[in-house]
Amino acid sequence: MNLRLKKIRTKMKKLGVDSFITATPSNADPNVVGTNGWANVHWLTGYTGSNGLVIVSDRNAYFITDFRYKEQAARETKDSGFKLIIAERDLYSQLGKLKPSVFGAVIGFEEENLTYQYFKILRRLFKGKKVVATKGVFGELRAVKEDGEIRYIKKAVKITDETFAEVLSMVKSGVAERDLALEIEYRFRQKGGGIAFDTIVASGWRSSLPHGKASNKKIKKGEFITFDMGATYNGYSADMTRTVVLGKANKKQKEIYGIVREAQSLGISLVRAGIRGRDVDKEVRDFIAEKGYGKYFGHGLGHGIGLVTHDMPVLSPSSKWVLGGGMVVTVEPGIYIPGWGGVRIEDDIVVKKEGRKILNKSPKELIEL
Ligand code: ZN
Ligand code: ZN
């Protein structure tokens, strides 16, 4: 039996449901690919398209899609253990045509990814059965990566590293942030990858915006420039941040950069199987606070990466996660001083049973261009 199908069935037993339903988000939404709903369906079945519904019981496993994906889905789901059904009309009407008796008395659905509209449909389709909400079903399953998944992430990281090295030579006074972002995204695709998220290029005062998407602002000499960029490969994301200076760095820039770099090394050194996400976050947060910049680091230390860029587990003050071998996480502390600028450094790290492996090879000493 397919390993992932086995994993979901084990999970279903724990949840006390006889059957479990998940689906891609509404097909009307053009940005389905890369969302959690899409990732769950893809993880289970191998399907990469935008319209799919999955129902699993202890004996049956069906994958329903529409005519547009007939040939593609047949190829992609071939070894998944799912029986492929092409819907005559919409996916839920097709679900209604399956014999309800094979699905048992309790049907679980994902509360995070199914809208109320679909809940109402399920309740109607499974009249007389219990339709119950489940939470966090795929979190743990998808957090621990298989070797093949780690290989895809490594390739995405390699594309990201190579692109960063190439684009550095284009950073010049008068160049717009947007043009650099465009160049980065073009090169991701040229190298056989995709784009994990809108590329962040934030220069000068904008570098204090942790999520400052590339704007029309032109880069000036003496400014910090933060690049937060990630390619995808076979659906798996990379996510890397580097901050560089155009020209010579001044004293304050060197000081802030040095603190963030030290904080990031500290964070990476703590990543290992068995440590709590919140403890890694706390050590790094305390370090930055000791240096006097605590109030300028306002986001979590890191997150998992995988089929979505912000995957499980989480490294933050409220994280309940314990890191385990095979998880892949980012470590990305930053200091953001409003009106002055900011620095963030981010790498992707595989958690090993013993220690860790940093995937990124882009340099971390302060680059003065
Ligand atoms: Zn990032
Ligand atoms: Zn990140």
pLDDT of amino acid 173:
98
Distance 134 CA to ligand 1 centre (A): 29
Q: What is the CATH number of domain 147-358?
A: 3.90.230.10
Enumerate residues with CB within 5 Å of ligand 2 (an ion): 239, 330
pLDDT at position 28 is 64
- Rounded to the nearest angstrom, the distance between the alpha carbon of 239 and the centre of ligand 1 is 5
- What protein residues have CB closer than 5 angstroms to ion ligand 1? 228, 239, 241, 346
Domain spans of the chain, in order of start: 3-143, 147-358
Contacts of 10 (CB under 8 A, 6+ apart): none
- The pLDDT confidence band at residue 2, using thresholds 50, 70 and 90, is confident
Ligand 1 centroid – CA 309 distance (Å): 8
What would the pLDDT profile of 66-114 be if each residue is shown by its tens digit? 999 999 999 999 999 999 999 999 999 999 999 988 899 999 999 998 8
Q: Write the pLDDT tens digit of every residue in 308-346.
A: 999 999 999 999 999 999 999 999 999 999 999 999 999
| Residue 20 alpha carbon to ligand 2 centre in Å | 31
Nearest ligand, measured from the Cα of 240: 1
**Domain 3-143 grouped into CATH 3.40.190.10:** no
- Contact of 206 with 152, CB cutoff 8 Å: no
- For residue 342, give the H/E element and its range: strand 341-344
- Range 178-202 burial, b when 16+ CB lie within 10 A, else e: bebbebbbebbeebebbbbbebbbb
The model's pTM: 0.95
